[in-house]
Every structure is written in structure tokens, then in C-alpha cells.
Amino acid sequence: MIAIGYVTIGVFPFAPMESDGNHIANGVHQMLLQAPSKNPFSYRYEAQSGTYWLIYGLSKISSLQPLDAFCLLSALSALVFLLGASLSLARLTGEDFALVGLMLLAFQEVWTNAFYANSNILAGAFLFSGFLVAIDRKTIRALILAGVLLGLSVWMRFDAVLMFAVLPLLIGGKSWREIGLKTFLIASLAAVIVLIALCLSNVSLSEILLSSQRHFQLRAAPPLAWAFPG
């Protein structure tokens, strides 16, 4: 019932369902029935194993169905993502937090991600929480916490690692050397967290690269004969 209510939050009468979310929920369902590991029903388990385990854990302790648990996690993550992104941008720009939040809502990607269960919003919640900690606090403990949160974001969805490129711009410092050292500390700790999490999830980096390879393959342009008959 949670899943049914959740997906009808969108523009009635359209229910913003996506097959990816169903595939992930099916994979988690098999983890609950058989063994907590990758199975034939898993969809891109290698690149988002953390999402599977987070849903699995919530389903296990709450008795929620995997899709219901996934929807609940996506909704909560959407709120965390919006708060984290708004606070981060407010800190960087000096603008009012509420104003920044309203401006972010003008981008449909921010709120449409909350309309269906997906690993993207789960990763985003950890990612911007880590960014906020890195921006707001300059202590070693804060940098360590930021590294842990960013590492967990990559575990939720591996392509979140692409966002690490903005770390030097967010951290700041009195010199490039200081910025470089802070960035290195956060990124190194995040890498350790990711490697440990992947190891515990029984996933190797080679499997992730193999599953992502199709996104980097160039496809031939379709023939234009249909457009110019004869």
C-alpha cells in the first residue's frame, strides 16, 4: 500500500513508475527468500549494491515489502537531498536557505526523482550530506565524516563518484596545498569505504566496469532510407 500511495503523488492520473525500481525490488525480494547476495533477478547489482543492501536491511527489520521499503527510502532520501543541496549552496553563495531551496525546486530533476523508487536519489542524499559536512566544518573529524558519507554514496550508486570532481571547489582553503590535502584525505577515505563495502557485497571493480561498458560503446547511426524512400 505504501508503494501504491507513493507513486500516485505525481500528476494524477499518471503513476511515475520505472521498471528499474521494480527490478531492484525483485532482486531484493529474492535476497529475502533465498540468500542475501546477487541473484538472477538482480538489476545492475554491481553498480548499486549498496541500494540493494539498504532496502534489504529495512525490509528485514520492518517486515515491509521491498518495493514499499524502496519507496520509503527514496522519499526520505529526496528530503535529505533537497535539504543537503540547499544548505550547501546557501553556504557557498551566502543566499537565504529557503530561497535556494525554492530555486532548486524549479529544476524538475530535483523533485521528479522523488516520485519513484530509484538508486539515484539514495546516492544523492549521502553525496550532498557529505558535501555539506565538507563545506560547513573544517576539522579532521568532519573531513573523515565527509569521506565516509561520500564513500557510502558511491556504494549506493557507483556513478556518484563523478561528482567528486567538485570537491576542491567546495572545500576551500588558504592555499592550493591545503585544498589538495583535504581533498586527498576525503577522497582516500571514501575510496577505502567503497572498497570495503564492495568486498562485503561480493562485488569487484572489474564487474562494475564490465556492467558499465555498454554506456561507453558508440552505436552506429540508424539508416536514413526510411526518411528518403526511393
Amino acid at position 121, single letter: I
Sign of CA dihedral 20, 81, 28, 213: positive
Domain map (residue ranges) of the chain: 2-206
Please report where in the chains the cell 530533476 appears, as a residue.
109
Query: Model pTM?
Result: 0.83
Burial 97-121 (b: 16+ CB within 10 A, else e): eeebbeebeeeeebeebbbbbbbbb
Confirm if 39 and 29 have CB atoms less than 8 A apart.
Answer: no
Cell numbers placing 170: 567546495
CA dist., res. 131 & res. 133, Å (int):
5
Contacts of 154 (CB under 8 A, 6+ apart): 50, 123, 160, 161, 190, 193, 194
pLDDT string in tens for the chain (230-residue length) = 555 555 555 444 444 566 788 889 999 999 999 888 888 888 889 999 999 999 999 999 998 999 999 989 998 999 999 999 999 999 888 899 999 988 888 887 777 777 778 899 999 999 999 999 988 777 889 999 999 999 999 999 999 999 999 999 888 777 888 889 999 999 999 999 999 999 999 998 888 887 766 655 555 555 544 444 44
Amino acid at position 164, single letter: F
Task: Provide DSSP, the chain.
Answer: -HHHHHHTTSSTT-----HHHHHHHHHHHHHHHS-SS--TT-SSTGGGHHHHHHHHHHHHHH---HHHHHHHHHHHHHHHHHHHHHHHHHHHH---HHHHHHHHHTSHHHHHTTSS--HHHHHHHHHHHHHHHHHH--SHHHHHHHHHHHHHHHHH-GGGGGGGGGHHHHH--SSHHHHHHHHHHHHHHHHHHHHHHHHHTT--HHHHHHHHGGGG---PPPPSTTTS--
